[in-house]
Amino acid sequence: MLESALIFLLAVLLLRHLMWSFPAQKPVDYSHAPAFDPRTHLNGPLTCDGVIFGPAGRVVSRFTARMEGEWQGDQGVLREWFHYDSGTEQARVWHLHLAADGSLQAKAEDVIGAGSGHVTGSAMGLRYRIRLAPGAGGHVLSVVDWMYLVPGGTLVNRSQFRKFGLKVAELVATIRPAT
């Protein structure tokens, strides 16, 4: 009896994770909202502020970033310069391709292969695998990354990082045009 109840509980938890959790979002969930266009909203000089939560849900790092987006048609380059509260700095260059159907391909030096995603309505979802810097352990993590356009043109970015299916970190940030 106890074994059956435990199996049922595990099945319910797995179903909850697959059907209703953050990674289960789909672009169609946001198709009714105002249009997020990366060629517009990730273009020019941008400012980013955010926090990173550890596996226990507590803030483990804070950061600011300066970003610069440049698009030529459906090909974009997004340069990022991060400054963490620890004093660490990090740079990343994303190479983006936005197809006519809203699908997105994203490459960066620390991304394994290419990330893939989709832009629909007010949101953009992207999945990829990233290799952390050696100073951060060099781990390879699976990332689910979403950006949501909110009134006024600010983007809210939420990313979850997983290792062996377990959430090890979460990032929440805002991205807005630099002033």
pLDDT given for residue 89 in this prediction: 94
Domain membership of residue 51 as a residue range: 26-177
Residue 21 falls within a domain, yes or no? no
pLDDT given for residue 40 in this prediction: 95
Residue 88 falls within a domain, yes or no? yes
Residue 114 falls within a domain, yes or no? yes
Residue 18 falls within a domain, yes or no? no
Residue 128 structure tokens? 């990829």
Q: What CATH number is attached to the domain comprising 117? A: 2.40.128.20
Annotate 16-81 with three-state secondary structure.
Answer: HHHHHCHHHCCHHHHCCCCCCCHHHHCCEEEEEEEEEECCCCCEEEEEEEEEEEEEECCEEEEEEE
Residue 5 falls within a domain, yes or no? no
| Number of domains observed in the structure of the chain | 1
Residue 105 structure tokens? 């391909």
**Quick check: helix, strand or coil at residue 14?**
helix
Residue 16 falls within a domain, yes or no? no
| pTM tops 0.95 | no
Residue 161 structure tokens? 């990082």
CA distances from 44 to 53, 67, 138, 175 (A): 28, 8, 31, 12
pLDDT given for residue 129 in this prediction: 98
Residue 35 falls within a domain, yes or no? yes
Residue 7 falls within a domain, yes or no? no
Report how many helices (DSSP H) and strands (DSSP E) the chain contains, helices first.
Answer: 2, 10
Residues 6+ apart with CB under 8 A from 104: 38, 96, 97, 98, 115, 116, 117, 118, 119, 124, 126
**Residue (of 147, 144, 146, 152) closest to 169 by Cα position:** 144
Interatomic CA distance for residues 110 and 26, integer angstroms: 25
pLDDT given for residue 14 in this prediction: 54
Question: Average pLDDT for consecutive 10-residue bins of the chain (179 residues)?
Answer: 66 55 68 82 98 95 98 98 96 97 96 95 95 88 95 94 94 96
pLDDT given for residue 152 in this prediction: 87
Residue-wise pLDDT for 33-72, tens only, equals 668 999 999 999 999 999 999 999 999 999 999 999 999 9
